[in-house]
Structure 1
Amino acid sequence: MGVPLRVRLGPLQERDFRLLFAGTTITTIGDRLASIALAFAVLDAGSVTDLGVVLGVRQAVEAVVLIFGGVLSDRMPRNLVLVGASLLQGAAQAATAAVVLTGGSSLAWLVALQAVYGVGAGMVVPAEVGLVPQTVSAPRLQEANAMQGMSRNLVGVLGPASGGVLVALASPGVALGVDAASFVVCAALLARIRVTPRAAALVRTTYLRELRDGWREFRSHSWLWSTVGVFGLSNMFYVGCWAVLGPEIANRELGGAGAWALILSAGGVGAVLGGVVALRYRPARPLLASVLAPMPMTLPLVGLALGWPPWLIAAVNVASGVGLSVHMTLWFTVFQREIPEHAQSRVSSYDALGSFVLIPLGMAFVGPVAVVAGVDATLWLAVAVFVVATAVIASVPSVRAMRAPQAAVAAAA
């Protein structure tokens, strides 16, 4: 745990990682502003079911594109894949901003433009997961992952609050326009990264063969496919409730965009604290620690179900942010150590697809389910699924057996 600060921040000494870090930080600023803006732009023109449709379609398109993005990122320089994705997302957000600012924000337009955004978003995760190890030396890998998470989470403290202010004082379209500009700046930075070209033998193989090879690598790791499968089911319930019912409850009972911004900002504070922990935390069983770390994420849903005041939901969302940040850092570090570099983008696309493919279903149906069963009952169902899923994954032998490199050496000795 006693790692000097200059060591923990060592990845910033490497040029390519600095460019990646700066680019992702800038675009995260815009996206944090836009997350609240989009939700309240839809709610201003429609209902909670409409919000679920917009978010669900975007997530569905992203899931479909993930596999393509994984193959593309293992064939091409991964930074250039991210450049193309950023420009596409920026164009989609610029058009969305124009539609909202001109008062033409019909459900059809918002769905179509956010579907385009989803195409770009589907290429981001596979490319970035594989790019991080290419921009930083191996001993600094966990610190690099922690810093990537911290940059997003630090922005998450101020981004939602700023988004709430823009929505309240100006228009959701203004925040969406800022998001569009951030993608352009991000693309310019990522284009300067120098990445080793992909092997010629890989580039010559067929698309379907690369898909099969990626799938074979994915299913060869029981710790990977079992965790992804169970968490995928849990995410369907959790994210659907949080992303759709959360803004609706805030709008109806907690005071509107300002209250929801406070809650999200508190989660960002917790995530920053979690990033600090992840810079120092070296568990002997990193995968098991990663699986258990997100358990505090159930607390904000409990608060919404019990009608807690905004400040109390925000307080427990701090703990939620800590857990999620530690989970993500440990998960990506284990993934990047255990999966061969040449297949990381393809395997990560299956990882992301399995984790998120059911989320659009949850987003689309959580509104109607809440109408029939009640909002509180729907929230409690999501909490129960999350707890059971975590217990199931923690009981998988290969998850419990995974050890950190130094712990494995000590055990062998």
Structure 2
Amino acid sequence: MSGLRAHPRFLRVWLGQACGAVGDQLLPVAVSLYVISRGGGVAEVSLVLGARAVALVLCLLVGGVLADRVRRSRVLLGADWFRGALLLATAVALPSLPLLVMPVVVALVAAGEALSRPAFRSMVPTLLPGDMLERGNALVSAAQRSAAVLGALAGAAVVSFVGPRAALFAAGAVFAISGLTVLRLDDTAPAALGRSVLADAAAGVRAMRERPWVLAVMSTASVHLMTGTAAALTLLPLIAHDRLGGDLAYGAVLAAMAIGALPGLALAGRWRPRAKGVASMCVLSGYALVPLSLAVPLPLPVVMACFAIGGFAVEFFFVYWLSALQRGIPGEVLGKVLALDQLGAFALLPVGYLLVGPVVGAVGTGPTLVGAAVVVAATSALCLVVPGVARFADPDTGVDEVAAAGSRG
């Protein structure tokens, strides 16, 4: 942190985006609890979460285009103040709003989130020198994980003790503060791209098709989100309300997942296994504990522990996966591949949210969650069959990370 103090512009933007991240995490928790308090069930909660996922998928590419064509500070300012104004207006009008308006509000806020993500990530290299990027990105990741904890706890606590309107006012306020941090920020507009958006996307797709291990891992992550994540996050607030202790238990379980992610980041940053793909996919199979912990009646501390393991598994996997993409994908198409990776991960999530209700209605809550856990564990293992996945590298290279880093230095 000491070296970053010499770069106040970065810290200023980082602080604002950390505030906005709290709002992003607070809102879906608060709205889900509000929907349940109004008599909503699985279908209504699925609609709220699905609306957020759909908006992220649809707007991420737009956000990437804007980040490459418009001053990024203006993108961040517009996205933050749009979300702040929308939530403050929603809070004022909440008592008279129909319940079906809430998924629309969540979707619009998620659209602002999708616009700001690529703008902020592409702004970091313009705010820090090259030798400080690792420290800066680590601080960004730590802020995001902390925001997940604070947002989940704050959403549940404010709704429980004060009410949903107060939660919406709080979320609107943090977005307003976030926008202030980039007001009058002196940044330059990025250079215009020479190719169309479709041509850029096609280049990224070609790079992925040339590497079956990349497609295999991306597909596995998408299936995990569609099954394990969709089932667990849709049913968690209902199960928390019925048998875990209520709204605060809901926030505590989500916070446990975020807290569990932190040691996953720390371990992956220090340990260098030779077969990074084997280590990553084996650990990722532990994410099956997330839906499995909700399938049977377990005490709240056990459920929290299982969600913490799930958070650990996801972040442990993500560090090695992102590093593998950075090593194995040519620099001229890396940005497009990273964007497509995120889009692919979210693409099936709305489908999963929409399917949870009908599947629960057909087979029941327990079998749905057990089935999701089986899919997560099985696909993690099957992915290792694809050549290249075991080392997270092309089979004919298997470049070691240290050697690759040395050659680039």
- The TM-score normalised by the length of structure 1 is 0.85
The alpha-carbon deviation at position 13 of structure 1 amounts to 4.9
Measured against aligned partners, the alpha-carbon deviations of 1:319-362 in whole angstroms (never above 9, x if no partner) come to 22222233333333444455566655543331112111111111
- Distance of aligned partners of 1:198 and 1:158 in 2 relative to their CA distance in 1, 3 Å threshold: closer
Q: Give the partner amino acid of 2:36.
A: L
- SS of the residue 2:96 aligns to: coil
Q: Which moved more, 1:291-300 or 1:177-186?
A: 291-300
Q: Relative contact order (alpha carbons < 8 A, sep ≥ 6): 1 or 2 greater? A: 1
User: 2:28 matched to which residue of 1?
Assistant: 35
Q: How do 1:195-206 residues align onto structure 2 when only pairs under 5 Å count? A: 197-200=189-192, 202=193, 204-206=194-196
Q: Which moved more, 1:125-134 or 1:62-71?
A: 125-134
User: 2:308 matched to which residue of 1?
Assistant: 318
Q: Which moved more, 1:230-239 or 1:185-194?
A: 185-194
Q: Give the partner amino acid of 2:84.
A: G
CA contact 1:286–1:404 (8 Å) conserved in 2: no
Q: Give the partner amino acid of 2:118.
A: P
The alpha-carbon deviation at position 142 of structure 1 amounts to 4.4
Q: How do 1:127-206 residues align onto structure 2 when only pairs under 5 Å count? A: 127-190=119-182, 197-200=189-192, 202=193, 204-206=194-196
- Distance of aligned partners of 1:188 and 1:293 in 2 relative to their CA distance in 1, 3 Å threshold: farther
CA contact 2:24–2:110 (8 Å) conserved in 1: no
Q: How do 1:6-405 residues align onto structure 2 when only pairs under 5 Å count? A: 10=3, 13-45=6-38, 46-100=40-94, 103-190=95-182, 197-200=189-192, 202=193, 204-286=194-276, 289-336=279-326, 338-339=328-329, 343-401=333-391, 402=393, 403-405=399-401
Unaligned runs of 5+ in 1: 1-5
Q: Give the partner amino acid of 2:112.
A: G
CA contact 1:70–1:348 (8 Å) conserved in 2: no
Q: Which moved more, 1:233-242 or 1:156-165?
A: 156-165
Structure 1 CA distance for aligned equivalents of residues 110 and 155 of structure 2:
21
Unaligned runs of 5+ in 2: 394-398
User: 2:396 matched to which residue of 1?
Assistant: none
The alpha-carbon deviation at position 34 of structure 1 amounts to 2.4
CA contact 2:228–2:290 (8 Å) conserved in 1: no
The alpha-carbon deviation at position 25 of structure 1 amounts to 1.7
The alpha-carbon deviation at position 132 of structure 1 amounts to 4.0
Measured against aligned partners, the alpha-carbon deviations of 1:228-280 in whole angstroms (never above 9, x if no partner) come to 12211221112211221111111122121011122122222212333333443
CA contact 1:73–1:345 (8 Å) conserved in 2: no
Q: Give the partner amino acid of 1:29.
A: V
- Distance of aligned partners of 1:71 and 1:30 in 2 relative to their CA distance in 1, 3 Å threshold: closer
CA contact 2:28–2:49 (8 Å) conserved in 1: no
The alpha-carbon deviation at position 141 of structure 1 amounts to 4.3
Aligned length: 400
The match for 1:406 among 385, 402, 406 is 402
CA contact 1:130–1:344 (8 Å) conserved in 2: no
Structure 1 CA distance for aligned equivalents of residues 200 and 372 of structure 2:
36
- SS of the residue 1:399 aligns to: coil
Structure 2 CA distance for aligned equivalents of residues 132 and 390 of structure 1:
33
- Distance of aligned partners of 1:365 and 1:302 in 2 relative to their CA distance in 1, 3 Å threshold: same
The alpha-carbon deviation at position 393 of structure 1 amounts to 2.8
